[in-house]
A and B are shown apart, each in its own frame.
Chain A
Amino acid sequence: METVVGLTVISVAILIGLAALGTAIGFAILGGKFLEASARQPELAPMLQTKMFIVAGLLDAVSMIGVGIALFFTFANPFVALVN
């Protein structure tokens, strides 16, 4: 029982940590490219802002699902029921 709970806590920490890391790297690249593109063609900035919003939604989709699954394991861990 303790082993299952302990391993779940470690996996939840890895899931949330990697989700945050992936999102941070993705956003850093996205923000850098946006600044670059706006410096080259400032008139495209409003259009790029919307495109950036779309890409941001796609970028964090997988990491948000990771956060959801991590919290599912935190609050309703199915493996604890299996052990009991």
Chain B
Amino acid sequence: MASSKPLRASELLAMRKRAVFRFIGLQVALAAGLSVGILVAMSGLHAYSFFAGALASILPNLYMAWRVFGHAGTQTAKDVVRSFYRGESGKLVLTAILVSAVFIFIKPLASGAMLAGFGMAIMSHWLSPLLLNK
């Protein structure tokens, strides 16, 4: 029999935290799946460029999720906002660093495929309400 006892704030937060990290896992799986599709349809160069672009967007997102949800228990509203601000500024800087690193260190690189992977990873955020609002 299902219990009708309401969840405590910390239990609810832990559930949400798991959902957020599961969503990021799904983003990685989606990027990897599309890269395999590109490998089959086009070439290895396009496939790894696409995956590198996707990772340049997903890793900063993971950093932000860790900043916001990576603590134990609940936080005060002020601390939540502070961790969001820190997470977002870190995400912006980390994105710039990672995209630059991809362009500098990965040679040869298919720029179009890399930008497509980057855009796909960002656009996959539009799926997040479907998963996280459950």
Which residues of A are at the interface with B, using a C-beta cutoff of 8 A?
16, 19-20, 23, 27, 30-31, 34-35, 38-39, 42-43, 45-47, 49-50, 52-54, 56-58, 60-61, 63-65, 67-69, 71-72, 74-76
Contact = CB atoms under 8 A, between A and B. Distances in A.
User: Among A27, A58, A64, A71, which residue has the most Cβ atoms of chain B within 10 A?
Assistant: A64
Nearest to B6: A43
Interface of B: 9, 12-13, 16, 19-20, 53, 56-57, 61, 64-65, 68-69, 74, 77-78, 80-81, 84-85, 88, 91-92, 95-96, 99-100, 103-104, 109, 111, 115, 118-119, 122-123, 125-126, 128-129, 132-133
A19 B88 CA distance: 12
Contact of A65 (B92, B109, B111, B119): B119
Given A50-B132, A54-B132, A64-B122, A35 B100 contact: no
B92 A23 contact: yes
A71 B91 contact: no
Interface SS of A by simple majority: helix
Contacts of B61: 57
A67 B21 CA distance: 24
Contacts of A65: 118-119, 122
B51 to A, nearest CB: 15
Given A43-B9, A58-B125, A49 B99 contact: no
A27 B91 CA distance: 13
Nearest to A45: B77
A57 B128 contact: yes
Contacts of B115: 68-69, 72
A61 B16 contact: no
A68 B20 contact: no
Given A58-B125, A67-B99, A75-B104, 13 more contacts: A38-B77, A46-B12, A50-B16, A50-B20, A53-B69, A54-B133, A56-B84, A60-B92, A67-B95, A68-B57, A68-B99, A68-B122, A75-B103
